[in-house]
Amino acid sequence: MQDFLATSYVWIKSIHVMAVIAWMAGLFYLPRLFVYHVEGLRKQGVIPGSDMDQLFCHQERLLLRAIMNPAMIATWVFGLAMVLTPGIVDWSSAWPWVKAAAVIGMTWFHHWCGVQRKMFAAGQNKLTGRRYRLMNEIPTIFMVAIVIAVIVKF
């Protein structure tokens, strides 16, 4: 197994990077859809269950299920494959622990977005557009931590 991981490392790493890009795109866009959803409903006086509400719910569900969930799973699978490749990770350094903590944080944020999507679908959203804008900054913080950890390798 270790021979396979070592010889396939550049392919594993390539797929991991592509999955991360897709996952991050979704993590940046879904909270922005939530902003448009909540503010569109409030500004236009649209009630939950209307055509506009259903359109947003449909877009949010597709983004989460068709792009974000598979990308998150692929990120984890190929990231763990890299971790298991001999000689790649120096566990005595701080960087793999920082990256791991940030990836777990991004995964938490992903699931938080999933809960918010369900709240919109049930007509029970309680958060404001401002709150979603603030939450939209969280994946950026995790991304910065991950990129610095992986590139600088402190």
Q: Tell whether pTM > 0.85.
A: yes
pLDDT bucket at 7, cuts 50 / 70 / 90: confident
State how far the Cα of 36 lies from the Cα of 75, in Å rounded to an integer.
28
State how far the Cα of 98 lies from the Cα of 142, in Å rounded to an integer.
10
Tracing tokens 């270790």 back to the chain, one arrives at 2
DSSP string, 82-106: HHHSTTS--TTSSHHHHHHHHHHHH
Give the model confidence (pLDDT) of 48-105 as tens digits.
778 888 999 999 999 999 999 999 999 999 999 999 998 888 999 999 999 999 999 9
Query: According to the model, what pLDDT value does residue 44 have?
Result: 66
For the beta carbon of residue 139, count every other beta carbon within 10 angstroms.
22
Asked if the model's pLDDT at residue 43 lies above 80, the reply is no
| Domains in the chain: boundaries | 2-152
Q: How far is CA 33 from CA 16, 28, 94, 111, in A?
A: 26, 9, 35, 16
